[in-house]
Amino acid sequence: MSRIVQNSLNLVLGVYYTAQVTQVRCRCAFALSLSTTLCAPDLYPMFRYIERIAESLGLLVDNWLNIGHMMLLSFFLDRDANVVDRCSVRAHSVSSLMTDDIFGSMPTRLLSCTASLMAVTDGKNVIYTSKNENKEPIRVLNAFRDTIDVGNGVAAIDFASSLLETDHNGDARTGILGCKCVDSERD
Region 24-46: what's the mean pLDDT?
A: 90
Question: Which SS3 state, helix, strand or coil, does residue 162 take?
Answer: coil
Region 59-63: what's the mean pLDDT?
A: 92
Region 24-42: what's the mean pLDDT?
A: 90
121, β-bridge pairs: 109, 126
Task: Identify the pLDDT of residue 93.
Answer: 59
Looking at the chain, the whole-number percentage of residues with pLDDT higher than 70 is 73
Task: Identify the pLDDT of residue 53.
Answer: 94
Q: What is the DSSP letter of 105?
A: T
Q: Which of 43-47, 100-104, 149-153, 166-170 has the lowest mean pLDDT?
A: 166-170
Rounded Cα distance between 54 and 64, Å, is 15
* Average pLDDT of the chain to the nearest whole number: 78
Task: Identify the pLDDT of residue 113.
Answer: 78
- Residue 56 and residue 7 in contact, taking contact as beta carbons nearer than 8 Å: yes
Which region, left, alpha or beta, applies to residue 153 given φ > 0 means left and ψ of -120 to 50 means alpha?
Answer: left
Task: Identify the pLDDT of residue 36.
Answer: 87
Q: Could you tell me which residues come within 8 angstroms of residue 73 by beta carbon, excluding any fewer than 6 positions away?
A: 79, 81, 170
Region 155-176: what's the mean pLDDT?
A: 62
Please write down the long-range contacts of 33-36, taking CB distance under 8 Å and 24 or more positions apart.
none
Task: Identify the pLDDT of residue 31.
Answer: 92
Domain ranges (residues) in the chain: 2-79, 89-178
Indicate the helix (H) or strand (E) that contains 57: helix 44-76
Q: How far lies 87's CA from each of 118, 130, 169, in Å? A: 13, 9, 10
Task: Identify the pLDDT of residue 103.
Answer: 80
Question: Which SS3 state, helix, strand or coil, does residue 157 take?
Answer: strand
- Give the model confidence (pLDDT) of 67-101 as tens digits: 888 888 777 766 655 555 555 455 555 566 666 67
Q: In the predicted model, is pLDDT for residue 180 greater than 80?
A: no
Side chain identity at residue 160, one-letter code: A
* Residue, of 21 and 124, whose pLDDT is higher: 21
Going 111 to 158 to 149 to 132, the CA torsion angle's sign is positive
Residue (of 175, 154, 176) closest to 107 by Cα position: 154
Region 23-50: what's the mean pLDDT?
A: 90
Q: In the predicted model, is pLDDT for residue 130 greater than 60?
A: yes
Region 99-112: what's the mean pLDDT?
A: 78
Question: Which SS3 state, helix, strand or coil, does residue 173 take?
Answer: coil
| Predicted structure pTM score | 0.43
